[in-house]
Amino acid sequence: SWLRGAAIQRVFEALQTDGGEVRAVGGAVRNALLGEPIRDVDMCTTALPQQVMERAEAAGLKAVPTGIDHGTVTVISSGEPFEVTTLREDVETFGRHAVVRFGRDWAHDAARRDFTMNALYCSADGTIHDPLGGLEDCLARRVRFIGRAEDRIREDYLRILRFFRFHATYGAGPTDDEGLLASVRLRDGLSQLSAERIGAEMKKILAVKTCPPVIAVMEGTGILPLLTGGVARLASLAALKSLSDELPEAGSPILALACLTGFAGEDAGRIARRWRLSNQERDTMFRAIEGSVALLLASRPAAVLKAQMMAWGRETACDALVLAHARARSAGRGETGFAGLHELARSWDIPVFPVTGHDLITAGVPKGPALGSAMERLRSLWAASDYRAAREELLAALSGE
């Protein structure tokens, strides 16, 4: 059905002229075969990049030379981007820095890819092309390196992390022992990767709901400590596991990271810097950790939540509850009550706080610290009234003090 869409068919039609052949490749084909959701479609063609540009434009499609040096043109069809890459083959193999040239041989193109399940091609009519025998592995959800795992890892150490990510996502099948052993043996090579690539890939792994067993293997084999600089501890894996078991937000990489760093602000900060998180990601993590601590320390979490909801906002409140829940569960608490509060927070309709700073000044509160603390008091009064107290009531309370 993904193939029958008008957008993708227009790309096929546009490029399949003059004997040029076009096939979808990689994640889309793999996910279609496995019945998993398809995010974006990468395509491969025998046509040269310049021809791709010309043919797409001749068919009325927008074409952007997004990576023209390595043969990639992004073709936009019905607003959807398709990355179209000319077949490549390595002249000499130096991994990502390989000298490549454009080719016409599908098997050569396949051999440059990482795993057999990622080297499947699909024509416009749905025919699957399987130059390396990846179909069987794919259907068995077996993540297997193309060629000798050690050689392939030495070409690009990121493949160690991709091995674990695909394992977390699809690896219900048998583990590729050769791949795992090679990953462990060559783990020191991870230090050659840039922080950006490590951070981006780790976020992708942590975004997988079923990542905890894989993270545990990464921890046990010494790979995770190399990546975190020794921050993540086994104890925090328990929280990660309960995060993924219990709540729908398990797919959140930032919350997963918060679990992994053991909810310690200092370690979270270190990882955030090390993995080049954006300021927004870092703040989201800190707010969730701080909120969860407040909820866990409270004798009446519901009251804390209610009082804080306004200041935190719904998103932070939900994050904090999810984390508090995961943490309480991993510490052995059965019924934490946080899951129920989470439902509540999600459906809580917080009205807009009815009093403004201007109201307070008009009511005679002097500008400066007094204004802030008066505002704080009114906010708690308002929360205590279940957000029902009207502006006049609140202002009256002010003068009554």
Pick what 114 binds: Mg ion, ligand ATP, none; C-beta below 5 to 8 Å, kind-dependent: ligand ATP
Contact 288, 323 (CB under 8 A): yes
Pick what 113 binds: Mg ion, ligand ATP, none; C-beta below 5 to 8 Å, kind-dependent: ligand ATP
Q: Which two tokens stand for residue 128?
A: 């699957």
Cα 242 to Cα 116: distance, rounded to the nearest angstrom:
32
Residue nearest to Mg ion (CB): 27
CB of 114 to ligand ATP, least distance (A): 4
CB of 319 to ligand ATP, least distance (A): 24
Identify which of residues 27 and 213 has a Cβ nearer to Mg ion in the complex: 27
Pick what 199 binds: ligand ATP, Mg ion, none; C-beta below 5 to 8 Å, kind-dependent: none
Q: Which two tokens stand for residue 113?
A: 């890819």
β-strand partners of 44: 23, 85
Pick what 342 binds: Mg ion, ligand ATP, none; C-beta below 5 to 8 Å, kind-dependent: none
Identify which of residues 208 and 255 has a Cβ nearer to ligand ATP in the complex: 208
CB of 25 to ligand ATP, least distance (A): 7
CB of 322 to ligand ATP, least distance (A): 24
Contact 105, 45 (CB under 8 A): no
Identify which of residues 118 and 261 has a Cβ nearer to ligand ATP in the complex: 118
Instruction: Note the residues at the interface with Mg ion (CB under 5 A).
Output: 27
Q: What is the 3-state secondary structure (H, E, C) of 172-214?
A: CCCCCHHHHHHHHHCHHHHHHCCHHHHHHHHHHHHCCCCCHHH
CB of 331 to Mg ion, least distance (A): 38
CB of 111 to Mg ion, least distance (A): 19
Reduced to 3 states, what is the DSSP secondary structure of residue 101?
strand
Q: Which strands sit side by side in the sheet containing 62-67, from one edge to the other?
A: 62-67, 72-77, 80-86, 42-45, 22-25, 121-122, 128-129
CB of 83 to Mg ion, least distance (A): 8
Q: Which two tokens stand for residue 236?
A: 């925090």
Identify which of residues 113 and 241 has a Cβ nearer to ligand ATP in the complex: 113
CA angle at 182 for the pair 181 and 187, rounded to the nearest 5°: 105
Identify which of residues 48 and 207 has a Cβ nearer to ligand ATP in the complex: 207
Identify which of residues 5 and 27 has a Cβ nearer to Mg ion in the complex: 27
Identify which of residues 208 and 321 has a Cβ nearer to Mg ion in the complex: 208
Instruction: Note the residues at the interface with ligand ATP (CB under 6 A).
Output: 26-27, 39, 42, 113-114, 118-119, 156, 158-159, 162
Residue nearest to ligand ATP (CB): 27
Cα 27 to Cα 21: distance, rounded to the nearest angstrom:
19
- As to burial, measured by CB atoms within 10 angstroms (0-12 exposed, 13-18 middle, 19+ buried), residue 200 is middle
